[in-house]
Amino acid sequence: DAGVTQSPTHLIKTRGQQVTLRCSPKSGHDTVSWYQQALGQGPQFIFQYYEEEERQRGNFPDRFSGHQFPNYSSELNVNALLLGDSALYLCASSLDGWTGARSTFGSGTRLTVV
């Protein structure tokens, strides 16, 4: 049973560019959440998608947007990249929004903005 799959694993972008990160949730899960983790810090919640809609959002600017598809997979888009957007981006999936319970995390996408 595959867990959460994220792609790509690593990415280098130039300041001002746009990036799209992808996530396939664990089989049977219908909720996807995205997190940003800077080096040495805990993951910071970006937003959560359920039934193809953004259900909750953390303290991130509108440059961060997302989408969930009918098959529950999800994308995270970041526009106008800043150097400070360099981080590990984690996707987590769960069933029906029980994110506080048994979320399954992917290994993340390491984004470097130069």
Partner 1 sequence: LAKTTQPISMDSYEGQEVNITCSHNNIATNDYITWYQQFPSQGPRFIIQGYKTKVTNEVASLFIPADRKSSTLSLPRVSLSDTAVYYCLVGDRDKIIFGKGTRLHILP
Q: Are 74 and 88 in contact (CB under 8 A)?
A: no
Q: Which CB sits closer to partner 1, 17 or 97?
A: 97
Q: How far is CA 67 from the centre of its chain?
A: 10
Extract the tokens encoding 96: 């029906």
Q: Are 48 and 55 in contact (CB under 8 A)?
A: yes
Q: Which CB sits closer to partner 1, 52 or 54?
A: 54
Q: Which of 20, 19, 43, 45 is nearest to 34 (CA)?
A: 45
Using CB under 8 A as the binding criterion, the count of chain residues that bind partner 1 stands at: 28
CB of 26 to partner 1, least distance (A): 11
Instruction: Please choose, out of 11-19, 63-71, 75-83, 85-93, the segment that lies near partner 1 by the rule CB under 8 A.
Output: 85-93
List of residues contacting partner 1 (CB under 8 A)? 4, 33, 35, 41-45, 48, 56, 58, 88, 90-92, 97-108, 110
